[in-house]
């Protein structure tokens, strides 16, 4: 009998999922530090993804409290309180 195995390092199937995981990884590994500003363009280039999935990932991370978006001022990484 054949069984399907999945790799724990498997990337998400969608570009938005890849962008979300990519930005989250950058934040959690302090490659984007608290208070640091970034932009959709910089993140898209860094992750080698399009702007739309990166914008969608930023919106999701904003609702989760990890990022703040200030219009044309860009995106800022929030301070993470692990308490």
Q: What is the pTM of this model?
A: 0.82
pLDDT for the residue 80: 77
User: Residue 17 and residue 4: Cα distance in Å, rounded?
Assistant: 22
Please provide the DSSP assignment of 40-54 as one string: HHHHHHHHT--HHHH
pLDDT for the residue 3: 46
| 53's tokens | 């999935």
Residues lower than pLDDT 70 in the chain: 1-11
pLDDT for the residue 71: 80
Q: What is the pLDDT of residues 14-37, one digit of tens each?
A: 999 999 999 999 999 999 999 999
pLDDT for the residue 73: 80
Architecture of the domain delimited by 15-77: Orthogonal Bundle (1.10)
Q: Where are the domains of the chain?
A: 15-77
């Amino acid at each position: 009998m054949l069984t399907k195995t999945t790799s724990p390092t498997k990337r998400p199937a969608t570009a938005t999922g890849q962008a979300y995981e990519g930005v989250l990884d950058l934040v959690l590994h302090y490659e984007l530090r608290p208070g640091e500003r970034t932009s959709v363009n910089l993140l898209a280039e860094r992750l080698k993804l399009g702007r739309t999935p990166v914008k969608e990932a930023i919106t999701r991370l904003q609702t989760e409290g990890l990022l703040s978006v200030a219009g044309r001022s860009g995106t800022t990484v929030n301070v993470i309180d692990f308490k």
